[in-house]
Structure 1
Amino acid sequence: MKAIGKRLRNGVTLLAVATLVASCGLPRSGPSKREIYSGSVEQNGNAYVVEVTDAVNRATGTVPALGFSQAFLGAPLAGSDVIQPGDTLGLTIWENVDDGLLSGPGANATLLEEVQVDGSGFIFVPYAGRIRAAGNTPESIRGIITDKLEEQTPDPQVQVRRLAGDGATVSLVGAVGAQGVYPIERPTRSLAAMLARAGGVTIEPEIAQIVVLRGNHRGRIWFQDLFANPQLDIALRGGDRILVEEDTRAFMALGATGTQQRVPFQTNTLSALEALSQVGGLRGNSADPTGVFVLREEPAEIAAAVLGKPGVTSPQRMVYVLDLTRPNGLFAARDFTIRDDDTIYVTEAPYVQWNKAISALTGSLSSVNAVDSAAGGLGN
């Protein structure tokens, strides 16, 4: 009995020493679950700690709102033969006389190649003068030139061709097959067609975004939405600038996860379960599946819906709690939407600190004999 009592006293002594060692600040990956809860508004802290439920998922399940304004969506397809400032025209003029105004002796046709449309939209034709070309079709310009020359030479015949010019062009840069400046032609008058002309996108379609700059207007859409919604295939205009870039959103993973780092989104929408899988899941030998937290600065309108407080008028610090051990826990994590700049933090299981404390005293908790020997040594 004395031996049993002695060993009991030794065990109590070892427990007290281990508790003291644990309280002295052993190395750990971050705050414990209890410490996070102690920082809640209910505990006079500055963050709301909210358990994730189906109702919370409905209130917070938002994704970036990307799209084109009506200025883009309402623009009709531009006529592929409408002349723009900067275009180049080719003119051929036939005269029904042997010695015409423009043609030399023995010739009745005059070829005017590469007639440049100036910045004001005009061209100059000898004996016809300065003619408005921008906004007109080659057929309209032909009629104008014919009327002007008809007063000076009998029955002139005019042919107008639109050559390759830099007036009705768009520039494509970023993650496309071939960056460059492309003319707007009949097959490439829409955004999707022009992207195909440039070789398509060279990054994963799920994270590709298309930006269109037109004067002071800017529109941004997801590449996948462009093909899922035909109404987003907007008509192009000369001078449009098109940028294809990778989604820049990312979240931070900390604590008892497979890796601790800033992680870029790999899909258009990302759930908490998918985010955890991207970082290798929970660390099997130390993670607490009841302590998965998502930290976020929540906009006022969403915070008001989550908290049931219509009076919320400013962004709020929110700490969402996912308990993966509950019957609905994995479903809640699957339906919880991760947003840009979120921080996912997984706490360590309570036994981890205890194990560290014991290991600090004994060097290992794996051997019962080692623990018993340490307890016996403390009691002598």
Structure 2
Amino acid sequence: MKLSETLKGLGLAAGSLFITGCVLAPGADLTPSAKSELYDLVSINEQVVNAEPVKRINYNTFEAQSDRPYQYYVGPHDILSIRVWNNPDLSTNQQVMTSPFSAKSSTIKDSSELIRQRQQVTPEGVEVQANGMIFYPFAGEVKAAGRTVSEIRLELTRKLAKYVVDPQVSVRVQSFNSQKAQVLGEVKFPRPVPITSTPLRVLDAIALAQGLNDSADKAEATLVRGSERVIIDMAKLLDGDMAQNHLMHSGDVLNIDNNRYRQIVILGEVNKPVAMPYDRRGMSLNDALVAASGISQAYSNAKGVYVLRNRSEGSKPTIYQLNMQNASSLLLADRFPLKARDVVYVDTAGVTRWNRVINQILPTTNAINRFDK
């Protein structure tokens, strides 16, 4: 017997072994067992899915914000504009600032200009010193830090009354430099945001950071205040629940985390494997398959569409299996709710595995044929 015939025989035997069992077929072969100690296998049927299609949950409760009046307290390095009416020599120079939402706001390109106008910065004024005091002609040293502008105005009025008949004093903060909050994480422009006489809430801070990135976690955010951590329910906030729209204080840090811990991963024989952000307001199995541009008609095993869900406390992981060989399965998929960190996997068709095995064998058989010649 020729060596080539022997090699051909061995090649055919090996090929038969591969084709029969697809032992060395490339790619994953997810064929879960109904009897496994590691996981539970559950068929997606009428008993498993919701009675109605998965729909968006509205978390809007319209809880009112606190009615307590907001007060800004002056701090070191703030700049005050002080005016004594009919006494220009006792007044700091003033420049009238327009609202950031006036007609000129249409020219604003980013949040930097909004913040500048929010601060109402002008070149002149009286700076509050590091010890919290200001010096003003005829009034001497006046404590400013930790006070409202009304309290500062009243003390200036009392002290100037010795030198000015019925002094009419106005005080405003011209430049807000003493207090800031931080916006970090998955926003377009992480930055410090000044605390001003206009209340700063969570939504305001996000807007001044130019909004959320696509990769932002839209389920939860964290507001750090000193040693305290407040969890903000972003789903409720984005639905208009103002109870989540906390007032921010100086030194607060608002952290918008990445959604990588809440993604849904779609793998296997789909047209576009993808990791999609989880939305706790409602997502179905159909939503995941659409995000992956559907299952591959050429390579997928429609009987093997799986949802792998890791264990919850005290239970085994669960593998849900959906047979999508008929149209009714699409209705089931539309009623099957997904959870954060689910893995959707579409299995490979048997004929696809067979072809992949053949593609592995062909280079060997071609080499044998060349050797025989």
TM-score category of the 2 structures, normalised to the smaller one: 0.5 to 0.7
Looking at structure 2, the residues matched to 335 and 201 of structure 1 have their Cα atoms a distance apart, in angstroms, of 30
Match of 2:44 among 49, 52, 59: 52
Counterpart in 1 of 2:286? 273
Tell me the residue number matched to 1:31: 29
Q: Which 5+ residue runs of structure 1 have no aligned equivalent?
A: 1-13, 97-106, 301-313, 364-380
Query: What is the match of residue 102 of structure 2?
Result: none
Q: 1:133 is matched with which residue: 144, 168, 172?
A: 144
Counterparts of 1:182 and 1:357, CA distance in 2: 60
CA displacement at 1:47 relative to structure 2: 0.8
Inter-CA distance 332–135: structure 2 relative to 1 (3 Å threshold): farther
1:329 alignment counterpart: 329
Question: In the TM superposition, what are the counterparts of 1:47-126 in structure 2 within 5 Å?
Answer: 47-57=39-49, 76=68, 78-79=70-71, 82-92=73-83, 109=90, 111=92, 114-117=125-128, 121-123=132-134, 125=136
Residue aligning to 2:178: 167
Show the counterpart of 1:257.
Answer: 270
- CA–CA separation in structure 2 for the residues paired with 1:361 and 1:351: 15
In structure 1, the residue matched to 2:3 is: none
Q: Classify the secondary structure of the residue corresponding to 1:163.
A: strand
User: SS at the partner of 2:338?
Assistant: coil
Residue 160 (structure 1) shift: 2.2
Using the TM superposition, give the Cα deviation of residue 343 of structure 1 relative to its aligned residue in structure 2, in angstroms.
2.2
2:116 corresponds in structure 1 to: none
Q: CA deviation at 1:28?
A: 3.8
Aligned to 1:147: 158
Q: C-alpha distance in 1, partners of 2:318/2:245?
A: 38
Mark the CA change 1:280 to 1:225 in structure 2 (over 3 Å): closer, same or farther. Answer: same
How far off its partner does 1:142 sit?
1.4
CA offset at residue 230 of structure 1? 4.2
Deviation for aligned residue 1:293: 1.3
What per-residue deviation string (whole Å, max 9, x for no partner) do you get for residues 96-152 of structure 1?
A: 9xxxxxxxxxx96365964444567554557756644345332221112333455x6
C-alpha change, 1:236 and 1:183, in structure 2 (3 Å) is same
**What does the per-residue CA deviation read over 1:55-114, in whole Å, with 9 as the maximum and x for residues that have no partner?**
53459x8999x99xx9x96595623x5434542223356899xxxxxxxxxx96365964
Q: Would you say the 8 A contact 1:209–1:247 is kept in 2?
A: no
Equivalent pair of 2:200/2:247 in contact (CA under 8 Å): yes
- Take 1:163 and 1:137, find their aligned partners in 2: how far apart are those partners? 13
Instruction: Say if 2:55 and 2:283, in contact at 8 Å, map to a contact too.
Output: no
Q: CA deviation at 1:27?
A: 0.9
Matched, 1:293 2:306: yes
Q: 1:51 touches 1:321 (CA, 8 Å); kept in 2?
A: yes
Is the CA contact (8 Å cut-off) linking 2:284 and 2:334 kept in structure 1?
A: yes
The answer as to 2:322 corresponding to 1:319 is: no
Q: Distance in 2 between matches of 1:165 and 1:361?
A: 74
Q: What SS is found at the alignment partner of 2:310?
A: strand
- In structure 2, relative to structure 1, the CA distance for the partners of 1:123 and 1:219 (3 Å cut) is farther
Instruction: Tell me if structure 2 keeps the 8 A contact 1:82–1:136.
Output: yes
- Aligned equivalent of 1:247: 259
- Percent same amino acid at aligned positions? 22
Residue 102 of structure 1 is matched in structure 2 by: none
SS at match of 1:325: coil
Deviation digits for residues 157-187 of structure 1 (CA, Å, limit 9, x no counterpart): 3442211122344344556565544434566
Secondary structure at 2:334's aligned position in 1? helix
Amino acid at match of 1:332: L
- Classify 1:120/1:210 alpha carbon distance in 2 versus 1 (closer, same or farther; 3 Å): farther
Name the residue aligned to 1:238. Answer: 250
Residue type matched to 2:152 in 1? I
TM-score of the superposition, structure 2-length normalised? 0.63
Change (3 A) 1:142 1:24: closer
Query: How many residue pairs align between the two structures?
Result: 313
Which of 183, 192, 215 in structure 1 is aligned with 2:203? 192
Give the TM-score normalised by the residue count of structure 1: 0.62
- Quickly say closer, same or farther: Cα 1:242–1:229, change in 2 above 3 A: same
User: How far, CA to CA, are the matches of 2:152 and 2:284 in structure 1?
Assistant: 59
Q: Is the 8 A contact 1:138 1:160 kept in 2?
A: yes
Residues 352 and 255 (structure 1), Cα distance of their counterparts in 2 relative to 1, 3 Å cut: same
SS of 1:56's partner is: coil
Distance between the aligned counterparts of 2:312 and 2:38, measured in 1?
15
Q: CA RMSD in A?
A: 4.8
> Which whole-Å CA distance do the structure 1 matches of 2:204 and 2:128 have between them?
26
Where does the alignment leave 5 or more consecutive residues of structure 2 unmatched?
Answer: 1-11, 94-123, 364-373
Measured in 2, the distance between the counterparts of 1:32 and 1:198 equals 45
What secondary structure is seen at the aligned counterpart in 1 of 2:317? strand
Q: Distance in 2 between matches of 1:352 and 1:111?
A: 82
Structure of greater Rg:
1
CA distance in 1 between counterparts of 2:170 and 2:333 reads 68
C-alpha distance in 1 between matches for 2:29 and 2:301 = 12
Q: Distance in 2 between matches of 1:108 and 1:18?
A: 103
Given that residues 81 and 174 in structure 2 are in contact (C-alpha distance below 8 angstroms), is that contact kept between their aligned partners in structure 1?
yes
